[in-house]
Amino acid sequence: MSTSNSEPPDAKSQSSRSASYVDEYGRRIDTLRISLTQRCSFSCFFCHHEGEIGVGNEIKLDDIEKIVKHASMHGISKVKLTGGEPLLRNDILEIVERISPMVTDLSMTTNGFMLEEMAFALKQAGLSRVNVSIHSLDPEVYFQITGSGDLEKVKRGVKRAIDVGLTPVKVNMTVLAGYNEDSIWEMMEFAADLGVTLQIIELQLMPDNTPSRLDDLRVDLGPLVEELKKKAIKIEKRDTQNRLLYTIPLDSKKHVKVEIVKPWRNKSFCEDCTRLRVTSDGKLKPCLYRHDNVVDVFPCDGQLGQEEAIQQAFKQSVLNREPYWRDENR
């Protein structure tokens, strides 16, 4: 692997050099979610593509490094790599290798198809942990949702990630009416057997152009949350959006940790948001649901890659941030 020409800043010593970014609603920005590509080996019909439309060329490795370097010097200590499928990037190991020294937590969301082969190398390069999307344990339903028939390969990828220490591993399950809403407890058993956290996700619809067929697939997770509260033997609050982590007993010998992601029309979800997004073509996106306030980090003005341009883009993006579900009008 090639290395960068410049020494990366040490995450612990450099992140406090400059003032942290705080938006007008008092929300401190500590997380960067970077979409590395819109390419994917699966074809999940509900995918929101990280809220991207009209995507340009994929963001370059050097530009990723520059963005993360600036972010790490302004209090952003956590980075999540997403897609599409991030493991389709030929330079994924070098991306991880370059940016991992700058942050305290570097994670990835993946469909898991290539994880069995790549988990060890990712861990060696500096990746901290992974989220693996498994929306059903029924091979037929899994194929209907993802367009992929290799569920067993993905399961092996999860086990391999555990073995090499990409932990805590999370399994992501998006609940879809008519597909998997009746198999949530089965997924809990699966997660408990592996010792991973189950992240149950409410379907995120794009408010500006929501197809009616997807609207019919959304399952309100409110009743499930109430059930988990009653059954939980322990409830913890995470730093990320103050989400609750429930420890649920399944029998006398095992339990599972369950986290609920319930963004739809959720005021508190937005009030506690501490992330900025980087699009797959290298722009800063303050909100998943909005397309009208995206900021170009590297404008075509002859100043490409310079710190001043990046700093200006970050400041404008933070200024553009507002809680999307801030009132009932939305």
SS (H, E, C) 146-159: HCCCCHHHHHHHHH
Q: Which residue has the tokens 């994929």?
A: 58
Answer for the pair 21, 314: CB distance below 8 angstroms, yes or no: yes
261 strand-pairing partners: 201
**pLDDT of res. 90:** 98
Q: Using one digit for the tens of pLDDT, what is the confidence trace for 143-177?
A: 999 998 899 999 999 999 999 999 999 999 999 99
Confidence of residue 252 (pLDDT cuts 50, 70, 90): low
Q: Using one digit for the tens of pLDDT, what is the confidence trace for 121-131?
A: 999 999 999 99
The whole-angstrom separation of Cα 247 and Cα 122 is 29
Answer for the pair 134, 154: CB distance below 8 angstroms, yes or no: yes
pLDDT above 90 covers what percent of the chain?
Answer: 74
User: Which helix or strand (DSSP H or E) is residue 9 part of?
Assistant: none
The whole-angstrom separation of Cα 47 and Cα 6 is 37
Q: Using one digit for the tens of pLDDT, what is the confidence trace for 290-327?
A: 989 999 998 765 544 578 889 999 999 999 999 998 87
Put simply, whether the predicted model's pTM sits higher than 0.75 gets the answer yes
Domain 25-320 belongs in CATH node 3.20.20.70: yes
SS3 category, 272: coil
Q: Using one digit for the tens of pLDDT, what is the confidence trace for 193-213?
A: 999 999 999 998 877 655 557
Phi, psi of 244 (to 5 degrees): -95, 140
Q: What tokens were used for 60?
A: 């370059």
Question: Which DSSP symbol is given to 218?
Answer: B
